[in-house]
């Protein structure tokens, strides 16, 4: 008998977006490495890719994450 069972984490009532199958699923259907979530509702999970795009844009345009290159001082 194996020491650790290989199982998918999550609970029914939690919604996920599967990146592999490009579909919304309730509870644990696909491995955690292939999904976004959990989300509180099916509607939130349906918009997972849009949410990810928006967050990526915010991060790319956040000056706190884009420090000036380190080098010689001008002068």
Residue 29 lies in a domain: yes
What gap in Å lies between CA 7 and CA 75, rounded to an integer? 60
Would you state the pLDDT for residue 69?
Answer: 62
Residue 72 lies in a domain: no
Segment-wise mean pLDDT, segments of 10 residues, the chain, 75 residues: 58 90 92 94 97 94 74 54
What gap in Å lies between CA 39 and CA 16, rounded to an integer? 6
Alpha-carbon separation of residue 20 from 23, 43, 51 (angstroms): 8, 19, 17
For the question of whether the overall pTM of this predicted structure is more than 0.85, the answer is: no
54 is in which domain, residue-wise?
Answer: 15-63
Residue 71 lies in a domain: no
How many separate domains does the chain show? 1
What gap in Å lies between CA 17 and CA 60, rounded to an integer? 23
Would you state the pLDDT for residue 28?
Answer: 77
Would you state the pLDDT for residue 12?
Answer: 72
Residue 74 lies in a domain: no
Residue 55 lies in a domain: yes
User: Are the CB atoms for 15 and 40 separated by under 8 Å?
Assistant: yes
């Amino acid at each position: 008998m194996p020491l650790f069972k290989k199982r998918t984490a999550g609970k029914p009532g939690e919604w996920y977006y599967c990146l592999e199958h490009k579909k919304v699923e309730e509870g644990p259907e696909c491995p955690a490495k292939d999904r976004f979530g959990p989300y509180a509702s099916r509607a939130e999970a349906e918009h997972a890719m849009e949410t990810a795009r928006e967050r990526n844009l915010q991060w790319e345009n956040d000056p706190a994450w884009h420090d000036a290159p380190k080098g010689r001082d001008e002068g």
